[in-house]
Structure 1
Amino acid sequence: MFALAAVAPGLLAPGSPESLDLGATLQAPSAAHWFGTDELGRDLYTRVVHGTGLSLLIGLGAAAVSLTLAVLLAAASALTGRILSGAADRTIEILFAFPTLLLALLLIATLGPSPLSLVLAVGVGTAPGYARIVRGQLLSARSSGYVEAATGLGHRRLRVVAAHILPNALRPLVGIFTMSIGQSIVWASSLAFLGLGVAPPSPEWGALLDAGRAYLTAAGWLVVVPGLVIAVLALAATTLGKHIQTRLETGR
């Protein structure tokens, strides 16, 4: 359903997310407006559906940035010489010393709020944790029997890394990537709630949270509904990612 809403939002919500109705402002959820309306009378259900594409795009982009940076740092740490490996280890430790939210805030403060800076901030902020996971996978693969056998047969180091270590170490990342999409959307929405994400009147879910917080006591659905949607997507992505990871590990 989320994928359908991202690709073809008009099928689920034919109206315009920017359509105003000043005679129906701040109406609670009802049969006419499933998720209620906002301070300008815009239908919240329509805005949530039409904001799915941008929210998922931010989540996918941040997850891609995070895992790409994690793989590069982990590979430099686990598969290179002492100098480059030490530099990569220190970089991971320095990034890991910063709380994810603080690191993301620093990057957004430097780059300025925009969808691209949000993707980069969340991606860089969550990369250190994944880098440690990938590094462990690479070290485990490097010390495996099949790598020792390939080395004993005289295969060049680059061939061993490309043909044996990387494919076996990075295969579990498919599931991790899927799980990180939901986490990235949660982080992006948290930053947007602080006013550092996509600016209103965009229907992106974090922007909806940011716009609705001013009416938290008078019209709580403006925050509760987008928050529940974010939670459901995060749960769905986590469940799918764990299922993929289990199938890759067990072959079932």
Structure 2
Amino acid sequence: MTALRPAPTPSASIAPRRRRPAAGLVAALALVALLLLAAAWPAVLATHSPTANDFAAALEAPSFAHWFGTDEAGRDLYSRVVWGTRESLLIGVGAATVSLTLAVLLGTAAALGGRLLSGAVGFVLEVAFAFPALLLALLFVAILGPSAWTQVLAVGIGTAPGYARIVRAQVLAARSSAFVEAAVALGHPRTRIVLRQILPNALRPLVAIFALSIGQSIVWASSLAFLGLGVAPPSSEWGALLDAGRAYITRAPWLVVIPGLVIVALALAATSLGGRLRMALETGEKA
């Protein structure tokens, strides 16, 4: 009679599996890396000069000679998209920075200020949040005039109220946490508790929100440019390309479709990376 062998433990029978990154995450990282390369060294990726006119080749469809086709002046659309990456990303990052900076200031004041300050800031946030972000952006563009800096300020201010409410909720949750109560019981100064306990824990999710905000800001800035309230021609910023191409949308639809797809692809990539980063932060907090 053979001796019974002990049953293998789960750790011995089941080998640990390495998690492979999802295809969507790999595609998002590859696209972001390609766009960063285009922003830093556009001459490496561009095939033509973005400002060279060739009226004999005007409004040519995408081909081997012109991958994205040409515009009304015969300029290579692919090269213009590549050279416009830097300006588009700067507008997106700048607007996201303005938005989250205002959100942190207003959200923290609404959560930690006195009764009068908290009530006033909370009222302002509720009123601002009731207006569509695009309407607020249009208001600032109408006051300041169309330009790249106006786009940054308009989109940043227009999207700040929504993020400020998130910051306010995070700060309130951190203020009522056990480690803050312990710090108060130990007699730590209020300033030290705010700077070392509340804000670092409350603002941690903003790292992921910043990535999401970049894609959203580029979409909003492109919307303003499409309405003729963005960077003036002959800029190759993506929104400006949309604005210039809409006059030829029936004759040369690639002038609008291709820049629009690039904007959508970047927004999806930023959303994917922001979501992954948020999940990673939440997993780290739970661990």
Give the TM-score normalised by the residue count of structure 1.
0.99
Query: Equivalent of 2:98, from 57, 65, 70?
Result: 65
Deviation per CA, 1:110-144: give whole Å up to 9, x if none.
00001111100000000011011111110100000
Deviation per CA, 1:174-224: give whole Å up to 9, x if none.
000011100000000000000000111100000000000000100000000
Q: What's the C-alpha RMSD, in Å, of the aligned pairs? A: 0.9
Who is 1:90 aligned against?
A: 123
Who is 1:191 aligned against?
A: 224
User: 1:14 Cα deviation (Å)?
Assistant: 4.5
SS of alignment partner, residue 219 of structure 1: coil
Structure 2 counterparts to residues 183-222 of structure 1, below 5 A = 183-222=216-255
User: 1:15 Cα deviation (Å)?
Assistant: 2.7
Who is 1:247 aligned against?
A: 280
Who is 1:231 aligned against?
A: 264
Deviation per CA, 1:5-45: give whole Å up to 9, x if none.
11111110153210111110000001110000000000000
Q: One-letter code of the match for 1:213? A: R
1:142 has 2:175 as partner: yes
Who is 1:120 aligned against?
A: 153
1: distance between equivalents of 2:162 and 2:113? 20
Q: One-letter code of the match for 2:53? A: L
Q: One-letter code of the match for 1:112? A: G
Who is 1:106 aligned against?
A: 139
Q: One-letter code of the match for 1:72? A: L
Query: Equivalent of 2:211, from 164, 178, 187?
Result: 178
Q: One-letter code of the match for 1:26? A: L
Q: One-letter code of the match for 2:101? A: T
| Runs of at least 4 residues off by over 6 Å | none
Q: One-letter code of the match for 2:124? A: T
1: distance between equivalents of 2:60 and 2:48? 17
Who is 2:110 aligned against?
A: 77
2: distance between equivalents of 1:198 and 1:228? 19
Who is 2:162 aligned against?
A: 129
Q: One-letter code of the match for 1:159? A: R
Query: Equivalent of 2:50, from 6, 12, 17?
Result: 17
User: 1:63 Cα deviation (Å)?
Assistant: 0.2
Query: Equivalent of 1:45, from 42, 65, 78?
Result: 78
2: distance between equivalents of 1:133 and 1:90? 15
- The number of residue pairs the alignment matches comes to 252
* Runs (5+) with no aligned partner, structure 1: none
- State the identity as a percent: 70
Deviation per CA, 1:129-160: give whole Å up to 9, x if none.
10111111101000000000000000011110
Query: Equivalent of 1:153, from 186, 194, 208?
Result: 186
Q: One-letter code of the match for 1:223? A: V
2: distance between equivalents of 1:39 and 1:24? 9
User: 1:89 Cα deviation (Å)?
Assistant: 0.4
Pair member with larger Rg: 2
* Runs (5+) with no aligned partner, structure 2: 1-33
